[in-house]
A and B are shown apart, each in its own frame.
Chain A
Amino acid sequence: MTLSSPRVLLLWRVLVFMAALSPLVYWSTQVALQQAGPEPGKYLLLGFGLCALVILLLTLSLTPLSKLTRWKGFTLIRRQLGLWAFFYALLHLSSYLVFILGLDFSVLLQDIARRPYVIVGMLALVGLLVMALTSNRWAMRRLGKRWKPLHKVVYLVLALVLLHFFWVVRADMTDWAGYALAAVALMSLRLPAISTRLPSLGKRLGLR
């Protein structure tokens, strides 16, 4: 058995699936056990939002990682992770609509009209939705050459999410700065000057 054997890769995908599901399980349990504080809806809202962002960043780390190592495992989970990011973003929006607004859509309309961070979040979610809808084989075949440029929208989504997050922060930028730094690092790994060197770097480090 090697790291590239089908069994290992299947196990890997299952493990990634369970890992991605675990925040949802954990937070739901906390809420069920009344360990989520006096405002469980807000607890879930923030947790889901952060989780969506983290998974988005992880998704964007897969291409550099596979260049560095040539391990198939990383490309194999790309679609899965992208869909998880969308899933948590959807839970985030649902938390907002159900737990915070209590499905009072008039408030939502006001929020959309007046609050830039909500608009930006919406745009980011639309971007994720487009990618989620076109992530299946059928759409890939239909879109052909256009698929790749379409999925470059992920960079825009990342920027929008960071802006959304930035506008939500009130006083301490430390956390935000950490995520922004990670985003900048991942983006710079995509600069041709750097990305073309990743394979040889991987070789030198004994990773491929």
Chain B
Amino acid sequence: MLIRSRRPQDPTENDVTPEAMYRNRRWFMGAMGGLGLAAALPGTAWAKPPWKDVTPAEAPAWFAAMKENVAWDAVVPEDQSVDKTTPFKDATSYNNFFEFGTDKSDPANRAGQLTTEPWTVMIDGEVNNPGKLSLEALMTPSRLEERIYRLRCVEAWSMVIPWLGIPLADVIRRADPTGEARYVRFETLVRPEEMPGQQSRFNLIDWPYVEGLRLDEAMHPLAFLAVGNYGRVLPNQNGAPLRLVVPWKYGFKSIKSIVRISLVRDQPLNSWQKIASSEYGFYANVNPNVDHPRWSQATERRLPNSLFNPNRMDTRMFNGYEEVASLYSGMDLRKHF
């Protein structure tokens, strides 16, 4: 409540940013540390200064309209001098998006041809409101938020990226899960003619790329559906036009270019687990104590780095988002890696 009294203008009744977040110490510190104070004012003309050196992009009308009323800095790292935002150029030229190839530069070089409009998302499974929604219909009932999240790749590198999007919980609530729903399953677009990686005959991934979350993970306020980054629509190589961002899990859980969200009873078999279940699990929570067979997970290289300074730092449990720990109480995270 201390927080509320310090921030009288907080839109606490705003369903977009649940009050629970503000009660949390991290969220509070984040908002105080950043520009959250002014930013949280709804409907004001105040806008955040644009991110530097960002390639502008044409945005659909609904996106432009939503951008008029963004909750800027809704979540920011507690110490932005440590977690400096990765330059736009790096976050958009060094990507794992195997639909476009396996080289880190392939997505930036080859994703330009992806058609992202029109875009529909199938909502199905154990829901009372199934249907095919346009991206606009999926997004516009919520308010756009900017969240600056750490992104930790399972390959032991990491970045800090400002996303624009809405809580995943909003979308799930609107879909209205039935009592049978236990998991959320996500699917990426399959369109080999625009996704050259899907044409490869020696690719081990059985397209579509599939990811999943337990329903309570998906409902956690930190789970996020992004349509933009750096104040603009998502560049294709970052998973346009709609991607998941689950900051306490390794990057591969944050599935890109989503075309289907299904509420299901059984735990989905995510693509990487299917290829190599000894290396990639369902949960894939960032965990410095459980190594990947090919990489130690104890530390990470924060990018961009330079030749003589790998910029190594200690990896934090749940990527530093310890507020999710209660989701896993009583679970052996060595077994459920």
Contact = CB atoms under 8 A, between A and B. Distances in A.
Interface of A: 31, 37-42, 44, 98-102, 104, 107, 110-111, 114-115, 117, 167-177
B105 to A, nearest CB: 7
Given A41-B310, A115-B293, A172-B101, A177 B202 contact: yes
Contact of A40 (B205, B275, B306): B306
Given A38-B94, A39-B304, A170-B102, A114 B310 contact: no
B157 A172 contact: no
B157 A174 contact: no
B312 interface: yes
B294 interface: yes
A172 B98 contact: yes
Nearest to B309: A102
Contact of A173 (B101, B157, B202, B312): B202
A123 to B, nearest CB: 17
B173 to A, nearest CB: 34
Contacts of A40: 305-307
11 contacts: A31-B307, A38-B86, A39-B305, A98-B307, A114-B296, A168-B294, A171-B204, A171-B205, A172-B101, A173-B203, A177-B202
Contacts of B295: 115
B107 interface: no
A84 B151 CA distance: 38
B202 A172 contact: yes
The binding surface of chain A is classed by DSSP as helix
Given A102-B312, A172-B101, A172-B102, A39 B303 contact: yes
Contacts of A99: 307-308, 310
Given A38-B93, A172-B204, A111 B98 contact: no
Contacts of B266: none
A114 B201 CA distance: 31
Contacts of B102: 169-172, 175
B30 interface: no
A172 B202 CA distance: 6
Contacts of A39: 94, 104, 157, 301, 303-305
B98 A171 contact: yes
A37 B93 contact: yes
B197 A172 contact: yes
A101 B312 CA distance: 8
Nearest to A118: B294
Contacts of B308: 98-99
Nearest to B105: A37
Interface in B71-122: 86-87, 90, 93-94, 98, 101-102, 104-105
Contacts of A111: 296
A41 B307 contact: yes
Contacts of B105: 37
A174 B94 contact: no
B9 interface: no
A15 B49 CA distance: 54
Given A38-B93, A40-B306, A169-B102, 15 more contacts: A37-B90, A37-B105, A38-B87, A39-B94, A41-B310, A107-B299, A114-B293, A114-B296, A115-B294, A117-B294, A168-B294, A171-B203, A172-B202, A173-B202, A177-B202
Contacts of A117: 294
A164 to B, nearest CB: 11
Contacts of B87: 38
Contacts of A41: 305-307, 310
Given A37-B105, A38-B94, A102-B309, A171 B294 contact: no
Contacts of B299: 107
B152 to A, nearest CB: 14
Nearest to A168: B294
B203 A174 contact: yes
Given A39-B303, A41-B305, A174-B200, A110 B296 contact: yes
Contacts of A170: 102
Contacts of A104: 312
Contacts of A37: 90, 93-94, 104-105, 304
In the A-B complex, the 7 residue pairs with the closest CB atoms: A38-B304, A38-B90, A173-B202, A38-B303, A102-B310, A174-B202, A172-B102
